[in-house]
Amino acid sequence: MSALIDAVSFPARAKRDQSGLNLKNGESPDFITCKACNRRALRTIWKDNYYVCPECGHYSSIGAIYRMSLIFDPGTFKELNKGMKAKDPMKFPEYEQKVAKQREKTGLEEAAVTAVGRIGGNKVVCVVLDSRFFMGSMSSTVGEKVTRAIEVATRKKLPLIIFSASGGARMQEGIFSLMQMAKTSAAIEEFNKSGGLYISYLTHPTTGGVTASFASLGDITLAEPGALVGFAGPRVIEQTIHKKLPAGFQRSEYLEAHGFVDKIVERKDMRETLIKLIELHKK
Amino acid sequence: MIKEILEEVEDLDTKIKTLERKAMKESSELTMAADTLEDSFDEINEEMETLDEYNSRLDRLKEMRRYALESAVHLAPDEKVFLARHMQRPHIDDFINGLFTDFFEQKGDHLYDEDLSIYGGIARFHGIPVTVLGHRKGHTMEDNMKYNFGMPCPEGYRKALRLMNAAEKFGRPIITFIDTPGAYPGLEAEEHGQGEAIAQNLAKMSQFHVPVIAVVTGEGSSGGALAIGVANRILMLENAVYSILSPEGFASILWKDAERHKEAAKLMKLTADDLYDAGVCDEVIGEPVGGAQRDYDEVMHNLDGVLYRHLKELMKLSPSGCKHDRQKKYRMIG
Ligand SMILES: [Zn+2]
């Protein structure tokens, strides 16, 4: 599959930072140090392993464009509403500067990347939230882009795949951020009624308003191993109940055991699993 | 600060009440004395003087109260947060008693549990059968513990959805009352799918063909508020607040310092007037000076008229028109 990835036509901005893993100052470009186990391995080995630590199996967060390149057929994907920028509806102090910083860091305009493309020859609409951009938080532009993508899927009767990753609300957009939960959920429900297939793919971390809206409304819910998924953050829960949370709490495996995930799917199996599911849902 | 003002006003309230009782007693004694001619002229004269003095003291106290309340007319956002959370503020029980008749409570999600932090059922509003429900808070610490301070678990949201689905089936308008610090951040709540429960409510509420009106009566905080708030009309009491999370939470996330909640409240634009300006709130309902807790009758009277007017308007829409009206409202935001 890696030959395939290299053949994908990347947007220019993705080239400089293909995996989404930014280099830290002084770090050798040939190596990646695992955030979980602190061990170093060759970047090429990480790459062949889809940026899952070859030593301990830790899932490194990857960029939205890179993830799309992993699932789409080469040269088939077209980004939707690419230039849509974050708004500042509350005129919140320093918000614009903060957005600019995220933009510079990731090469993205917002935390959601939406696209149409083919997977195993099947045309689909795909949304990926990028946790590197403002923690993948739900801004009004994220909500708008997600909603528009869902509406395209509804109109064109295409399967919908959403990879969620979000720290929750975009604080600086206040009530406008909150209302995106209602907007996106309403769009999903319309899509649902039109008979379309929605695969919700939960990645690390999926919390807050995204969990309490479109991420939890899939016909099929998949999750990456070890992803943190929940509504309230573990710290808030611990402060509320004055107890230590059990090991593995709110991780994908925990959610699967408690009945909220159909299957935990490894990154290397992501594309094949999606193709299989899309084929199974063909009428 | 509103807290100090209210303490002063409440102190004056007590003094006024005591004095009024005294004056009443004095005046009835006086009437009796005059009737029976038992007391001497001097005695009657003395009693009349006492009464006069009581009355002038009363006037003075009332003047002081009026003056104190005047400083409570323009409140800062964090003062509104204080009022929105006031324990004596009217809560869902009071609204149901004050505005509805024939209330029939419906309990449980009929799946797993009964969550007391959501209260609701069927009732009549101006004779019209409706489904009414909302977050439940108490007027005492004991009740608040019982109702989990109005913080629902997934079971509460599923109960709310069950009640609303029945309303949709029988063509009853839905009226919800929002007053919550947020969905409960607990271990079981997460295990039972807090996010899933809220998401389902948002999705299903967007599809209803019956009118839905949400009234934010106290604090409307986070997805835990929105989960019963996807409505054709959002009304807010004057001192109610509606926001992405509490000012304390906001301050601790943004500045790692919950103590800066006053500053947060200002930046968050969470008051009824702010939400009206943002186009989220459709109408602001006036409260007595000093807050809704000072005069329930006035609050009920104000809310009753506005609620009825909006309901009548929405009932003119066709079922699909009603659904589209609601969807459009949210589609336009952002
Ligand atoms: Zn590792």
Minimal CA–CA distance to B83: which of B331, B226, B272, B315? B272
Domain with residue A126: its CATH number is: 3.90.226.10
Amino acid type, A142 = V
CA–CA distance, A166 with A206 (Å, rounded to integer): 5
Residue B114 backbone class (left: φ over 0; alpha: ψ -120 to 50; beta: rest): beta
Cβ(A208)–Cβ(A167) below 8 Å: yes
Within a domain: A15: no
Q: What angle do CA B70, B72, B74 make, to 5 degrees?
A: 100
Residue with tokens 């974050």: A86
- CA–centroid distance, A259 to ligand 1, in Å, is 28
Within a domain: A236: yes
Residue with tokens 């939400």: B275
Q: What does residue B68 show for φ and ψ, rounded to 5 degrees?
A: -60, -45
Residue A12 backbone class (left: φ over 0; alpha: ψ -120 to 50; beta: rest): alpha
**Cβ count within 10 A of residue A191:** 25
Q: Is the pLDDT of residue B102 over 70?
A: yes
Using the CB atoms, write b or e for B185-215: b if 16+ within 10 Å: bbbebbbbbbbbbbbbbbbbbbbbebbbbbb
Cis-peptide, bond into residue B129, ω within 30° of zero = no
Tell me the CB-side half-sphere exposure of residue A187, using CA atoms within 13 A: 25
Mind listing the pLDDT tens digit for each residue in A59-91? Answer: 999 999 999 999 999 999 999 999 999 999 999
A138 forms beta bridges with A169
Mind listing the pLDDT tens digit for each residue in A218-276? Answer: 999 999 999 999 999 999 999 999 999 999 999 999 999 999 999 999 999 999 999 99
Which token pair is B96? 């149901």
Q: What is the pLDDT of residue A66?
A: 95
Which token pair is A8? 């994908």
Q: Is the pLDDT of residue B170 over 70?
A: yes
In this complex, the residue of A139, A171, A258 whose CB is nearest that of residue B253 is A171
> How close A40 gets to chain B, by Cα (Å)?
33
Cβ(A53)–Cβ(A267) below 8 Å: no
Within a domain: A268: yes
CA–CA distance, A236 with A229 (Å, rounded to integer): 14
Residues 6+ apart with CB under 8 A from B28: none
Minimal CA–CA distance to B330: which of A260, A143, A131, A118? A143
The burial class, CB within 10 Å (0-12 / 13-18 / 19+), for A243 is exposed
Please give the mean pLDDT across all residues of chain B.
95
Domain region containing A98: 63-280
Three-state DSSP at B61 gives helix
Provide the pLDDT confidence category of residue A26 given band limits of 50, 70 and 90. low
Mind listing the pLDDT tens digit for each residue in B190-206? Answer: 999 999 999 999 999 99
Q: What is the pLDDT of residue B196?
A: 98
Three-state DSSP at B247 gives helix
Three-state DSSP at A116 gives strand
Within a domain: A187: yes
Say whether A230 and B190 touch across the interface (CB within 8 A). Answer: yes
Q: What is the pLDDT of residue A10?
A: 39
CA–CA distance, A181 with A191 (Å, rounded to integer): 15
Domain boundaries, chain B: 2-72, 80-332
Q: How far, CA to CA in Å, does A48 sit from each of A29, A41, A43, B116?
A: 16, 12, 9, 53
Tell me the CB-side half-sphere exposure of residue B18, using CA atoms within 13 A: 8
Minimal CA–CA distance to B301: which of B165, B99, B122, B22? B99
> How close B54 gets to chain A, by Cα (Å)?
52
Q: Percentage of chain B with pLDDT > 70?
A: 99
Site from B187, B204, B209, B328 to mutate, A interface, most A CB atoms within 10 angstroms: B187
Residue with tokens 């084929």: A279
> How close A185 gets to chain B, by Cα (Å)?
5
Provide the pLDDT confidence category of residue A17 given band limits of 50, 70 and 90. very low
CA–CA distance, A150 with A162 (Å, rounded to integer): 9
Mind listing the pLDDT tens digit for each residue in A84-110? Answer: 999 999 999 999 999 999 999 999 999
Say whether A216 and B267 touch across the interface (CB within 8 A). Answer: no
Q: Is the pLDDT of residue A8 over 70?
A: no
Say whether B250 and A171 touch across the interface (CB within 8 A). Answer: yes
Say whether B190 and A183 touch across the interface (CB within 8 A). Answer: no
Provide the pLDDT confidence category of residue A21 given band limits of 50, 70 and 90. low
**Cβ count within 10 A of residue A161:** 27
Provide the pLDDT confidence category of residue B26 given band limits of 50, 70 and 90. confident
Q: Is the pLDDT of residue A18 over 70?
A: no
Considering the domain B80-332, what is its CATH architecture?
Alpha-Beta Complex (3.90)
The number of domains in chain A is 1
Which token pair is B264? 């947060």
In this complex, the residue of A175, A245, A259 whose CB is nearest that of residue B244 is A175
In this complex, the residue of A143, A181, A189 whose CB is nearest that of residue B223 is A181
Minimal CA–CA distance to B244: which of A282, A92, A79? A92
Minimal CA–CA distance to B165: which of B126, B207, B197, B128? B207
CA–CA distance, A37 with A78 (Å, rounded to integer): 37
Cis-peptide, bond into residue A89, ω within 30° of zero = no
- CA–centroid distance, A227 to ligand 1, in Å, is 15
Q: What is the pLDDT of residue B45?
A: 85
